[in-house]
Amino acid sequence: MPILNRKQKLMFTVFFLLACVFAASGTAFCTQPENEGEKSRSFIKWVDFKVPYEALNKAMKLDIESQDQNIKLDWIEMLAYLASKNGNNFKNYKDKQLTDLAAMLKSGKTIDDLTKSMKHYAYYHEAFTAVLSGFLGEYDIEVPNDDGEGKHWEHRYGLKVFSPIAKGYPYNHFDDFGSDRSYGFSRTHLGNDIMGSVGTPIIAVEGGTVEAMGWNQYGGWRIGIRSHDQKRYYYYAHLRKNFPYRKDLKEGSIVKAGDVIGYLGRTGYSRKENVNNIKTSHLHFGMQLIFDESQKECLSEIWIDVYPIIKLLSNHRSAVVKNPETKDYHRVYDICDPAGGQE
């Protein structure tokens, strides 16, 4: 390593401190050169997702309820407004804040009117869009007939994503994002551990493409699915020994929201494949945000706290049934989401 003189050391220290300040602010953008000869581009390099379940649930309901009204509300815009107004501090959040905001919007004011003096609104809107853009919208889904015999298709607007745990299977979890992990090396836990029974069917939260399957020393048998809009990478780890995945899945497979993708287990913490070294059976579920492909696998990946999201999805779970011959599970009710390329 070259020896730095006093001036170089000072410049390096200043640069490092500025980088720390921007990273800590939660509003930093990363400027990185494109291909040679192209202009530099800017993209978000850090997101601290602090929106609580209560705010997610209230904003979602206001959005859904407004769809048959003259003025339609957008839950992402509303949540970005709150984050801009409170400096991303939701400790004092009350549902009345969103109720009052909805009233202002229904009275004729636009979100542009309300946010024109908010310096960071554009940042929060882009960040929250990356987190939530695949969650609400129009879709078609199979539902059971009233007489209990057969099923039919219905067109709906609402949640079109599902809990990662299949319907009818118990689980428990708490907010453990950011806690310490020590296996291999000291590191931060970048997901939410969902405790359940071995063999519990694991569900694709959102539709997308399988980008990773196989063994990982830390995650055991794991699967990674990229959303159709490329913004979200869902990570499911510690899947079951001997039978971790739905048998027909492979890298490159397209899955729908609500599909069975694998089975809960306790594999991992071993360089040797197919080893149960996790003490408590659970699913590690994580979401990575990707604003630029350079962020996909690097030292500055953006992982968010998904605990409030899992709470939001707790009542929207995919019913499954077992095939007695293959021992695989599959969904009972199909879904069609045109926005996700499913026709």
Domains of the chain, CATH where assigned: 6-44 (no CATH), 53-132 (no CATH), 172-340 (2.70.70.10)
Q: Where does residue 184 fall: left (phi above 0), alpha (psi -120 to 50 degrees), or beta otherwise?
A: left
DSSP three-state, residue 58: helix
Neighbours of 38 (CB within 10 A): 8
Neighbours of 72 (CB within 10 A): 11
Tokens of 267: 């594999």
The pLDDT of residue 46: 94
Determine which helix (DSSP H) or strand (DSSP E) holds 126, and give its type and residue range: helix 121-132
The pLDDT of residue 181: 66
Cα-to-chain-centroid distance, residue 173: 16
- 63 class by beta-carbon count within 10 Å (0-12 exposed, 13-18 middle, 19+ buried): buried
- Number of helical (H) and strand (E) elements in the chain, helices listed first: 7, 19
The pLDDT of residue 180: 59
Q: Beta 41-44 vs 29-32: how paired, if at all? A: antiparallel
CA end-to-end span of the chain, whole Å?
A: 57
The pLDDT of residue 287: 97
Tokens of 274: 């197919």
The pLDDT of residue 339: 78
Tokens of 243: 């039978």
Cα-to-chain-centroid distance, residue 329: 24
Q: What is the pLDDT along the chain (343 residues), one digit of tens a residue?
A: 333 344 433 443 333 333 333 333 333 444 444 443 444 469 999 999 999 999 999 999 999 999 999 999 999 999 999 999 999 999 999 999 999 999 999 999 999 999 999 999 999 999 999 999 999 999 999 999 999 889 999 999 999 999 999 999 999 998 877 775 655 555 677 889 999 999 999 999 999 999 999 999 999 999 999 999 999 999 999 999 999 999 999 999 999 999 999 999 999 999 999 999 999 999 999 999 999 999 998 888 999 999 999 999 999 999 999 999 999 999 999 999 987 655 5
